[in-house]
Structure 1
Amino acid sequence: MAQLVNQFGNDNIRPTSKNDRTMGFFSTFALWLAANVVITSVLTGMFFVPDLPWSTAIWVIIIGSAIGAIPLALTGRIGTRTGLSTMVMTRAAFGQRGAILPSIVNTVVLIGWSWIQAYLAGLSLNYAVSFATGYSNIPLFVILTQFLVVGITIYGHRKVEGLEKIVSIGMLLLSTVVFFQLFTRYEIGSLITIQVAQNPEISAIIAFDIVVATAFSWMSSVCDFNRYAKSETKAMAGTYLGYILASLIAMGLGATVSGFSILAGMEQTYDPTLLLAQYGFGFVAAVVVFLSVVSTNVMALYSASMSFMNVFSKVSFWKPVAAIGVITILGALLQEALMASFFDFILLIATLFIPIFAIVLVDFFIIKKGNYDADDIVEDTKGLYRYQNGINISAYIAYVLGAAFAYVFTYVAPLSIGSSILTFFVSGIIYWAAMKLSNQIPEQPDLTKKEVS
């Protein structure tokens, strides 16, 4: 047993050293491409059509992803510069003890995200096995999926990086073949002129809000991986371009398949594999979709474990991976209840996380002028980030008000223009004003702002 444990990853919350930085532009690009060409993104695109015209859905996906990926890439830059994981980095804005709340919220949300994706991966694996052998057992394949996720994650970030490169290539190849077959077999003009639903539940603005919120949902994990990047500029470019391309491929594929399936009179389903199967891509799609979800859930489990370690920093990496892995296995068996709340879950993420990272970005780039003392964030020897007994009251005020704003204008009185972007700016402005008024801006060390290279 001891020999097996010694082979597990020993990832920790210490700033990543230059010797441990293994990710160049391609590695970063591949990681964020593989992470987001995933079945939940395909599912999102499927829900946009026929509520929206196909061409409108595509433009919403492009513009929403391009805007949402900006703060995602900026947050990742903080991780590359400091070498810190995401939740550890939030100590600088929320305080040494104050960062416990974001860590707990992140762990819980990532577990929920893993539940949804594990179920969808189980569906795809079940289809592939059933196609090949005739055997069907969705709960079993959901459990096996998460066991595989735990088995990969427990070996640390290097295994994660290797997996993402393989999956990203596979997803690019599959999506190219699928798009080619669809657009050569069917008339694209009929897709463009498809009849829109008479009583649509999703408007273009709401769809835009969902696309932006999806990008924002990755901000809680981005530093966990970009801390291993060699260059800030290349990491930002890889994150930004990888995410946008992934969203366009995945959500665009979902919108396209949904549109053509409606034109062909096919039964609508939340399992994209079944629709792709009717176009002749069932088995291959099931296998690749399964691998893509595994790669995304590996990242989710890794980040959930790193968030846990921000609270309990002395725990060995493999222990939270194993414990949280068991929880995700059990929760994924909720099945239909998960899918019934899919969009509500995405909007909940926006409510909980957008204020946090608006505060973090304002704190780093505006208030702290791009300077964080990474060692003191971890060790708290200089007291630069203690604030009021370890909690930055200004950050908590901004978070509570920002989350309340998001909740009211998402659930109580939904805005016709959506609330994600407004929540981001409102939270950031409140935090900036609170810090100025309370005079709680700590003195920063004279750190040289050099790009990691």
Structure 2
Amino acid sequence: MATPATLDIDVPRTLSEPAPKLLGLRDTLGLWGNLGISLLLPVAAAYVILPGRPFGQTFWAIVVGAVIGAVLLGLGAAAGAREGAPAMVLLRGLLGRHASYLPTILNIVQCIGWATFEIVIIAEAASRVLDAPRWPFILGAGVLATLMALRPLGAVRVLARYAVWAALASVVYLFWEVLSNPLPAFTEAGASSFWTAADIVIALPVSWFPLAADYTRHVRGGRPAFVGTAVGYGAATIAFFTLGALALAAYGASGFDVIGALLALQWGFVALLVLIFVEVDEAFANVYSTAVSAQNLSARLDRRLLALAVGAVATVLAFTFDIAAYEPFLFLIGAVFVPLVGVFVVAYFLVPRGTWDTSDTAPARPLLLLPWAAGFVAYQLTLPTYFAGTGAGWTAWWSARQADLGIDPANGWSASLVSLAVAALVTALVCLPTIVRARRGEVAVPAPRAADAAREADPAGEARS
């Protein structure tokens, strides 16, 4: 249980200071449950629906995708708790310190983009529910998300203890209302196959992988980090994708307007207002993780000043930027991180744990750039990232490579799973010599850190936490 003294402790200002281990299973479950409660998921449900088929097939695609994505996310969260390092610093052990700057810069770009996207969604939904201008909600969401990023552990505790229950009550009410109406068959186009539907669901949890360790480095042990993250986000993913699909079936058969479908419910606007308020945690998480990612480039940067700067940039972009034009680029960056997940999971959990070096002197491992690149190519050959207008050349080039290799553009495969499989297989081949030498005792394993030694001396401590 938290004491008054520990409630005042928050994330250190710089990476030069040790990260406090203050979060347990309850906090982790509440945080990731809240992060999974997002209006983005029911909106994305429009692309998961399998038209002309029983709803059960759509539901199982949601469940399969959520389980796969949540397990991968949980593995990254567990690694963050075990190493006590944020996500981009954790990648030093994979690629080396300087090579980790590449995913760090990409993550900064995508986090700013997603923070802007979340602020826009909050403002759009709030303006429709309250029939008011958007600009006050853009300003309010940006300011609140930034303030939460200044005291992130305090925000996590509030989300875990209070916000999650308000959101849960709203979700239960929305499900009750949706299921009380007959559900007509889906007639409009959504996913082209079971696996393309599952692929969209997989992408949502995996998109949080480059951020997960930023929070779970404060969790007391790998087990509660894995369980809390995987169960919290996985359950919310299933619930919200299913809610979106059911709402479209019941009220939105003539179009993919999920917000309009939920507003058609009796008292639906009240439940939506609660969910809109809870949505701010998504913007907060992206603002905070942008700041922490930037600290991997310079450990002495003050995360509070960085958060203020990032929050201001995201808010201004929400006022002025056409986020719809930026969305395909965000998905392209997502396709970059999907194979990186496969590389990380295989390398971290197969290579001896003590050899994972996240220090400032972490040596370069350029060979592991190869499976990352191979996974990205496999993703694009399975399902090229779509661009319109001036970016259409990217899509056309990869479509031509599909034709060269005889790959059917309507193959129905999961681009995420193909990418993960290719990246994981190539990583295993690259790491095989190290694994063999370790089993022969030829690889020196550094002495455990103080935190690891304490856990080994008191193995029950992790279970208690």
- TM bracket, shorter-chain basis: 0.7 to 0.9
Q: What letter is aligned with 2:367?
A: S
Partner SS for 1:378: coil
Residue 340 of structure 1 deviates from its aligned partner by 6.6
Report how many residues are paired.
418
Partners in 2 of 1:233 and 1:125 — Cα distance? 38
Q: How does 1:8-23 map to 2 (within 5 A)?
A: 10-13=12-15, 16=18, 20-23=20-23
Does the CA contact (< 8 Å) of 2:78 and 2:221 recur in 1?
Answer: no
Q: What letter is aligned with 2:358?
A: I
Does the CA contact (< 8 Å) of 1:398 and 1:428 recur in 2?
Answer: yes
Using a 3 Å threshold, how does the CA distance of structure 1 residues 71 and 35 change in structure 2: closer, same or farther? same
Partners in 1 of 2:58 and 2:366 — Cα distance? 41
Using a 3 Å threshold, how does the CA distance of structure 1 residues 16 and 242 change in structure 2: closer, same or farther? farther
Does the CA contact (< 8 Å) of 1:45 and 1:252 recur in 2?
Answer: yes
The reply to whether residue 351 of structure 1 matches residue 335 of structure 2 is yes
Of structures 1 and 2, the one scoring higher in RCO (CA 8 A, sep 6+) is 1
Partners in 1 of 2:428 and 2:73 — Cα distance? 20
Partner SS for 1:27: helix
- Structure 1 window deviating more from structure 2 (432-441 vs 98-107): it is 432-441
Deviations 1:309-359 (A, max 9, x none): 111211111121111112211222357x434775x4564244210222222
Query: Paired residue for 1:305, among 267, 274, 291?
Result: 291
Does the CA contact (< 8 Å) of 2:113 and 2:330 recur in 1?
Answer: no
Residue 446 of structure 1 deviates from its aligned partner by 4.4
2:354 corresponds to which residue?
A: 371
Compute the RMSD of aligned alpha carbons.
2.7
- Structure 1 window deviating more from structure 2 (215-224 vs 429-438): it is 429-438
Partner SS for 1:96: coil
Residue 228 of structure 1 deviates from its aligned partner by 1.1
Residue 277 of structure 1 deviates from its aligned partner by 1.5
1:401 corresponds to which residue?
A: 374
Does the CA contact (< 8 Å) of 1:83 and 1:227 recur in 2?
Answer: yes
1:35 corresponds to which residue?
A: 35
Specify every segment of 5 or more residues in structure 1 that has no aligned partner in the other structure, as ranges: 1-5, 131-135
Partner SS for 2:383: helix
Partners in 2 of 1:97 and 1:345 — Cα distance? 24
Using a 3 Å threshold, how does the CA distance of structure 1 residues 15 and 444 change in structure 2: closer, same or farther? farther
Does the CA contact (< 8 Å) of 1:79 and 1:226 recur in 2?
Answer: yes
Partner SS for 1:424: helix
Q: What letter is aligned with 2:48?
A: F
2:155 corresponds to which residue?
A: 159
1:422 corresponds to which residue?
A: 418
Residue 371 of structure 1 deviates from its aligned partner by 2.7
Residue 416 of structure 1 deviates from its aligned partner by 1.9
Partner SS for 2:219: coil
Q: How does 1:79-90 map to 2 (within 5 A)?
A: 79-90=80-91
Does the CA contact (< 8 Å) of 2:30 and 2:159 recur in 1?
Answer: no
Partners in 1 of 2:367 and 2:17 — Cα distance? 26
Partners in 1 of 2:354 and 2:110 — Cα distance? 29
2:66 corresponds to which residue?
A: 65
Partners in 1 of 2:348 and 2:106 — Cα distance? 21
The reply to whether residue 278 of structure 1 matches residue 264 of structure 2 is yes
Query: Paired residue for 2:279, among 287, 293, 306?
Result: 293
Partners in 1 of 2:157 and 2:332 — Cα distance? 29
Using a 3 Å threshold, how does the CA distance of structure 1 residues 50 and 139 change in structure 2: closer, same or farther? farther
The reply to whether residue 229 of structure 1 matches residue 219 of structure 2 is yes
Does the CA contact (< 8 Å) of 1:8 and 1:318 recur in 2?
Answer: no
Q: How does 1:324-343 map to 2 (within 5 A)?
A: 324-333=310-319, 337-339=322-324, 342=327
Partners in 2 of 1:52 and 1:167 — Cα distance? 38
Partners in 1 of 2:10 and 2:90 — Cα distance? 24
Partners in 2 of 1:281 and 1:49 — Cα distance? 26
Partners in 2 of 1:426 and 1:31 — Cα distance? 32
Does the CA contact (< 8 Å) of 1:274 and 1:282 recur in 2?
Answer: no
Q: What letter is aligned with 2:210?
A: S
Does the CA contact (< 8 Å) of 1:213 and 1:349 recur in 2?
Answer: no
Does the CA contact (< 8 Å) of 1:167 and 1:291 recur in 2?
Answer: no
Identity %: 19
